Amino acid sequence: AFLKFINFYYRFIRYFLRLSRPLTELTKGEYFTIKTSKRKIKYGLFF
């Protein structure tokens, strides 16, 4: 439900897909990955 609400703003926010990717990764499965310029970090779910 939260992502459907957020998708409404897709039309109005520049680079929305790039900004919303961490939120999407959180809803996918057991962990999400953040890539920085120096390293790749995997985080487990917080709940």
What is the torsion angle, in degrees rounded to the nearest 10, for the CA atoms of residue 18, residue 28, residue 33 and residue 3? Answer: 30
> Does the pTM exceed 0.85?
no
25 CB neighbour count, 10 Å cutoff: 14
User: For residue 17, what pLDDT is reported?
Assistant: 76
> Does pLDDT of 15 surpass 80?
yes
Query: At 29, phi and psi to the nearest 5?
Result: -165, -140
| Two structure tokens written together for 43 | 């985080």
Across 2-28, average pLDDT: 76
More reliable by pLDDT, 39 or 16 = 16
**Residues found in the chain:** 47
pLDDT tens digits, 16-30:
878 777 777 667 666
Helix, strand, or coil here: 34? Answer: strand
